[in-house]
Structure 1
Amino acid sequence: MTRKQASGLTAAQLETLCGHWPGVTRDIKWGAALVFSVGGKMFAVTPSDGSEGGRLSFKVADDRFLELTDQPGITPAPYMARAHWISIAEPQRFGTVELEAFILDAYMLARAKLTKKLQAELGPQPTIKANKK
């Protein structure tokens, strides 16, 4: 029997995924935007109330920005595109595992911009555990 692959990433799932990563803080900004940061540097944003179809925006590596924004359903994030942020209007069109990997990459990019001292204080880098049955 085949199992359907999980898709999307809600605000609650995002909180479960990265809320315990070293140095992660959460804030509500711009009304209802749930913002995840590390060391004061934002790495992911989603509506806290699930509005906007659960839009998910996050930082990507400079060399992946054009590649990703050429894909259907992925656009440059408003106001943040110059910093190589992308926006996924309908996260449920993407696999949860794929989105989790994007968020981990976004965290690592933001963390890499911190001072070496602060990076060392944060401790080991997080990993994504394989999905359980």
Structure 2
Amino acid sequence: MNREDINAFCASLPQATHVVQWGNSDVWKVGGKLFAVLGWNNGETAVTFKVSPIAFEVLPDMQGIRPAPYLASRGMKWLQDTRDPGLSDAELQNHITYSHEMAVAALTKKKRAELGL
């Protein structure tokens, strides 16, 4: 998946919103909660997403996966796929979907109801 494909996938998730910030990064949120960031790693696309504590421990052993700069250094369980080689397309989609689900779960009941989630 390239940056365009990943952005299209993020846009397909329920109530996903997009802004460009942080040095021209594509930032994806649901209900104001961050779930994915597409930025750059040495001129190539890098995808940052929230993961479970277990995934945070296991996935960095794979080539192309690392704790997300800034977010992980603050104790948050976020990883960055530098796409070299990184996760398969299906695995990446699964992790972005799970990150979206965790963001939805962090919303208040009222906010989830407002968004129809």
- TM normalised by structure 2 equals 0.85
Letter in 1 for 2:49: F
- SS of match in other structure, 2:44: helix
Report how far residue 116 of structure 1 moved.
1.3
Letter in 2 for 1:78: P
Give the match for residue 102 of structure 1: 95
Gaps of 5+ in 1: 1-8, 125-133
Contact residue 49 and residue 96 of structure 2 kept, 8 A: yes
Gaps of 5+ in 2: none
- Count of aligned positions: 115
Indicate the structure (1 or 2) with the bigger Cα radius of gyration: 1
Q: Which aligned runs of 4 or more in structure 1 are off by greater than 4 angstroms?
A: none
CA RMSD of aligned residues (A): 2.1
Give the match for residue 130 of structure 1: none
Distance 2:41 2:58 in 1: 27
Cα separation, partners in 2 of 1:25 and 1:16, compared to 1, 3 Å: same
Report how far residue 11 of structure 1 moved.
2.3
- SS of match in other structure, 1:83: coil
The answer to whether the aligner puts 1:36 opposite 2:28 as a matched pair is yes
Which residue, 88, 91, 109 being the options, matches 2:81? 88
Identity %: 35
The answer to whether the aligner puts 1:60 opposite 2:51 as a matched pair is yes
Report how far residue 67 of structure 1 moved.
1.2
